[in-house]
Amino acid sequence: MRLVIARCSVDYAGRLNAHLPSALRLLIVKADGSVLVHSDGGSYKPLNWMSPPCKLAVTPGRWVVTGKAGETLTVELEEIISDSSFELGTDPGLVKDGVESHLQELLAAQLTVLGDGWRLVRREFPTPIGPVDLMCRDAGGVSVAIEVKRRGEIDGVEQLTRYLELLNRDPLLAPVQGVFAAQEIKPQARVLATDRGIRCVTLDYELMRGADDASLRLF
């Protein structure tokens, strides 16, 4: 990894064109040849960058990075303040806990959140257009397809609608009800879901995780 602090201007030409006027910035060249241009603010996103795979051509005062699809990042170096390189080696990688799949697990184990007497048919119930997160039957034996999201937006409602349309063609399952379950449901998504007869349920992750821990402690 090479770190350069330099006064530079940058141009990108690819899907769009973008230009950065001259200023002091941090340039990072990673082991795979990818280049990041960072300012001293903003978020984790660089001002400009080139993703791997790409090729870096260095000439005095100018770097030209060319990507797989022919897009180019051109860095004009005007003044180099600092230039250093380090061998970091490969990274063991990130371990995550608490994403959608976890939410799905918890809900599958706590169907009483949705109603008494519900039972799980299966998780990741397969359909020709993709898997339904949870397939259940309610106390009356009616099929219910559940879409689980961390944040419920319109796309998720569309997704569930497509599943329901398909599932309702199967006489062994029909009629199939829909439940849209998320930690947070956007107003527009709620309007669309309600308009289509889909029930919306807000999930409390901390509460569900707590209930899960409590049930584990009983054994």
Quick check: 180 and 193 in contact, CB under 8 A? yes
Q: How far is the CB of 29 from DNA (least distance, A)?
A: 14
Largest CA distance in the chain: 75
Distances in whole angstroms, Cα of residue 68 to Cα of each of 11, 30, 52: 17, 16, 8
Among the listed residues 6, 37, 11, the one whose alpha carbon sits nearest the alpha carbon of residue 23? 6
Go through 206-218 and write b for each residue having 16 or more CB atoms within 10 A of its CB, e for each that does not: eebeebeeeeeee
Q: Which of 7, 38, 71, 74 binds DNA (CB under 7 A)?
A: 71
Q: What are phi and psi of 7, to 5 degrees?
A: -80, 125
| Residue 104 vs 143, nearer CB to DNA | 104
Counting contacts by CB under 7 A, is residue 204 touching DNA? no
Counting contacts by CB under 7 A, is residue 3 touching DNA? no
Quick check: 65 and 50 in contact, CB under 8 A? yes
Among the listed residues 61, 79, 203, the one whose alpha carbon sits nearest the alpha carbon of residue 133? 203
Q: Which of residues 52-71 bind a copy of itself (CB under 8 A)?
A: 52
| Residue 84 vs 90, nearer CB to DNA | 90
Counting contacts by CB under 8 A, is residue 89 touching a copy of itself? yes
Q: Which of residues 130-159 bind a copy of itself (CB under 8 A)?
A: 130, 150, 154-155, 158
d(CA 15, CA 216): 51
Q: Which of 130, 165, 197, 210 binds DNA (CB under 7 A)?
A: 130
Among the listed residues 76, 74, 57, 59, the one whose alpha carbon sits nearest the alpha carbon of residue 17? 74
Q: Which does 3 bind (CB under 5 to 8 A by kind): a copy of itself, DNA, none?
A: a copy of itself
Residues forming the site for a copy of itself (CB under 8 A): 1, 3, 5, 15-26, 28, 30-32, 34, 36, 38-49, 51-52, 81-82, 84, 86-99, 128-130, 150, 154-155, 158, 162, 188, 191-192
Residues forming the site for DNA (CB under 7 A): 12, 14-16, 18, 42-45, 48-51, 67, 71, 73, 94, 96, 99-101, 124, 126, 129-131, 149-151, 153-156, 159, 186-188
